[in-house]
Chains A and B, each alone.
Chain A
Amino acid sequence: MLNHTAYLALVLYAASFCCYAWILYAPHLWLGRFATLLLAGGIIAHYYALLERTYGTHTIPYDDLFGSMSLFAWLLAVTYLGLELIHRQRTVGAFVTLLVAVWVAAVSSFAPRELPPPPPARGPLFAFHVTLNTWAYAAFALSFVLSVIYIVQDGFLRSRRPSAAFWRFPALDVLDRMSRSSVYVGLGALAVGVVSGFVWEHRLSGTYALGDPKVIVTLAIVAVYVAYLLLSRTATWRGARAARICALNFAVVLFSYTIVNLYLTRFHRFF
């Protein structure tokens, strides 16, 4: 991920973060729109960077850690942009673009200059499976950010001494809806991604690797997020408690993305 378009994407994400952070400090309609435009520009540049990498490795960049991280960051940015447009809420942008920019910067700094050798051809269904699962992780990351903001906002409201930031962040109800939208996107992507993975594997070997730790942890992810969606509608759990569950659920996603992928799985050890 060391091509020029990747650096351009990083610059645009960083500039977008600056604008989002500035509107958090001093609301400005046009600057907000400009921040969105910069983010969109970053997404486009990042797309071309990924495309370039795809041409180099002859596969969608999920086969190595850095390519996968870059794809994750891009999908996170895309998911956030979608949510921003749906919910018309920019104040969360500073946190998401910071995460995206740091992620892309890490990839740009630590990725080796040489591209990894092309992996064995696995077909478009496999690419679809991995891309959707990465998208699900990105959506869960977004719900994590939104849940943390919810918890902070709730704390301000409970303390009855709201800070300056309190008045600028979205309302609890909006954060809750954004977080749930994000989880719905994540679960949808994960469900389709998992099914496509099973179909691909069955076509290849006629079996299902149900005992693979990655599959087990992925099912656990589905379970904890479904539990979150159900609990967030009950009297005891709705509100800040549900937000805490959602934030904690992301630990399982991180576990799946790092420990499981690097050390535990046999079939899913791509990098």
Chain B
Amino acid sequence: MSAISKTSDSARVRATGSIRVALIGCNHRTAPVELRERVAFTTEQALDAAKQLRSRGILEEAVVVSTCNRSELYGVPGDASPSVADAMEDFLTSYHRIPRGELAGRTYRWLGTDAIRHLYRVAAGLDSMLLGEAEILGQVRAAYSRALEHGATGPILNRVFQGALEVGKRVRAETEVAARPMSVSLAGVKLAERVFGSLKGRSALILGAGEVAEQVVEHLRNRGIGNLCVVNRSFDRARHLAERMGGEAVAWDSLETVLSSPDIIVTSIGDIGSVLTRDKFVRALAARDGRPVFVVDLGVPRNIAADVAGLYNLYLYNVDDLGEIVEQNKRAREAEIPRAETIIAEHVAKFENWRAALEATSIIDDLRGRFSAEREALLRERLAAMHGISPEERERLSKITEDLIERLLQEPTTRLRNGRGVPGHLSVIEALRRVFGLDREEQGRESE
């Protein structure tokens, strides 16, 4: 987060108009992979698209979030009318040269609070294919950081995305949505952590060099495992995996000699049956002075004899045990959704308060400007016809009318500022804009 500076200076925020965030996108729920890959953005494309969205005047601030499961355009439109979503969709289709009809019904569009809530849900991992997955928060952070570095964001999107990153972190820290392992390989590694604590410096033996073994090795490497030994019937495959993962390949015949050193043993050999019997483990445990060993048997049929499970200080899990744990964890994650939604609602409300405070300041400034302009016009008009008034009296009249405006604005200013966070406060501000015709004024200024 070091590159991301927190923007809290409300003075930088555009002091006129209603603040709206618009979103258009498609994800794994709305579009098949064939379509998703066609609307995906590379890193360069995402920056270029954000630039174009701004230069074409569709958005004032823009961030493109594109992962394998979603492509989303977030922005702050100059014009907050619903047609902005059409303009964004037009841009999306034209950018990727896709006939517009192909995206019909495959996209979602959100404006205002709904767009923010959606982003917060995305950052929290609630909108992911795998509930609570960890990668999405990093992807959102990366997309935002790049947009920030290239000047594509402004105070509003900065606030929105910083809020999203905070939500992502809080949901992961305070709920179990992302806490428990959701894959068999990760469940095995997490269970090993329940025995050894940190896996840093521990040793592991991988029996088999297939895809599952590779996944386990990757998880172990990510956790700083020390020695890694790979044993496979095909020595070349073992060596290949060991070389890639920074381990050591051992010949199949030497399996028993290396069995006593690892703290973690993972087996995933198919069509071989029980390779490791109770006797072999009894000898291995004796050789390692009874230190605990965690064994994961991912082979089908099982590579480790069932009676090994009864050995003291040996914890054995097979693929069914891990599958059951993954299912349990999935249910536990789903049960955490309401708590994650509460955190999201809290942050959406926080954003709305910030927006209300800004808009309150903005409308007060606008009203003051509007009244001052009317006052000056009126004074010019009336004083032109009053010839007997001295310059001092003119000055006094000007001061009195100025004070009158300040006095008239005093109470509304206090009420608007005190009303932050009160439900309906934003609609009061919007109503005031309409009543005093300030919305028309903005449009006029923008068209100029």
Enumerate chain A interface residues (CB-CB to B < 8 A).
26-29, 153, 157-158, 160-162, 164, 166-167, 170-174, 234-241
Q: Can you list 10 A-B contacts with CB-CB less than 8 angstroms, sorted by A residue number? A: A26-B175, A161-B324, A164-B332, A171-B193, A172-B194, A172-B195, A174-B197, A238-B291, A239-B290, A240-B312
Q: Is B148 an interface residue (CB 8 A)?
A: no
A167 x B179 contact (CB < 8 A)? yes
Which of B1-9, B242-250, B313-321 is the interface stretch? B313-321
B321 x A236 contact (CB < 8 A)? no
Enumerate chain B interface residues (CB-CB to A < 8 A).
173-176, 179-180, 190-191, 193-197, 285-286, 289-292, 312-313, 315, 317, 321, 324-325, 328, 332, 339
- Chain B residues near A164: list those with CB within 8 A: 176, 332
Tell me what chain B mostly uses at the interface: helix, strand, loop, or mixed: helix
Complex alpha-carbon distance, A26 and B195, angstroms: 22
B191 x A157 contact (CB < 8 A)? yes
**B174, B285, B313: which contacts A27 (Cβ < 8 A)?**
B174
Most A Cβ at <10 Å: residue of B191, B197, B317, B324: B197
Most A Cβ at <10 Å: residue of B180, B289, B290: B290
A-B contacts besides A27-B174, A171-B197, A240-B312, 7 pairs, CB < 8 Å: A157-B194, A158-B315, A160-B321, A161-B324, A172-B196, A174-B197, A239-B313
A170 x B197 contact (CB < 8 A)? yes
Complex alpha-carbon distance, A157 and B191, angstroms: 8
Q: How far is the CB of A45 from chain B (nearest CB, A)?
A: 29
A157 x B195 contact (CB < 8 A)? yes
- Chain B residues near A172: list those with CB within 8 A: 194-197, 292
Q: How far is the CB of B331 from chain A (nearest CB, A)?
A: 10
Complex alpha-carbon distance, A28 and B173, angstroms: 6
What residue of chain B has the Cβ atom nearest to residue A32's Cβ?
B173
What residue of chain A has the Cβ atom nearest to residue B289's Cβ?
A235
**A157, A167, A170, A171: which contacts B180 (Cβ < 8 A)?**
A167
Complex alpha-carbon distance, A166 and B328, angstroms: 13
- Chain B residues near A237: list those with CB within 8 A: 290
B174 x A239 contact (CB < 8 A)? no
Complex alpha-carbon distance, A236 and B180, angstroms: 33
Complex alpha-carbon distance, A236 and B282, angstroms: 12
Complex alpha-carbon distance, A241 and B286, angstroms: 16
What residue of chain A has the Cβ atom nearest to residue B196's Cβ?
A173
Complex alpha-carbon distance, A148 and B292, angstroms: 18
- Chain B residues near A174: list those with CB within 8 A: 197
Complex alpha-carbon distance, A26 and B172, angstroms: 11
**B174, B180, B292, B317: which contacts A26 (Cβ < 8 A)?**
B174
- Chain A residues near B195: list those with CB within 8 A: 157, 171-173
B194 x A235 contact (CB < 8 A)? no
A26 x B339 contact (CB < 8 A)? yes
Complex alpha-carbon distance, A34 and B292, angstroms: 35
- Chain B residues near A158: list those with CB within 8 A: 315
Complex alpha-carbon distance, A154 and B190, angstroms: 15
A238 x B313 contact (CB < 8 A)? yes
Complex alpha-carbon distance, A235 and B313, angstroms: 9
What residue of chain A has the Cβ atom nearest to residue B192's Cβ?
A171
- Chain A residues near B328: list those with CB within 8 A: 162
Q: Which 10 A-B pairs have the closest CB atoms?
A: A235-B290, A171-B197, A160-B321, A173-B197, A174-B197, A239-B313, A28-B174, A235-B289, A173-B196, A172-B195
What residue of chain A has the Cβ atom nearest to residue B285's Cβ?
A235
What residue of chain A has the Cβ atom nearest to residue B313's Cβ?
A239
Complex alpha-carbon distance, A235 and B191, angstroms: 22
Q: How far is the CB of A20 from chain B (nearest CB, A)?
A: 15
Q: How far is the CB of B225 from chain A (nearest CB, A)?
A: 15
Complex alpha-carbon distance, A229 and B312, angstroms: 19
**A167, A170, A173, A234: which contacts B290 (Cβ < 8 A)?**
A234
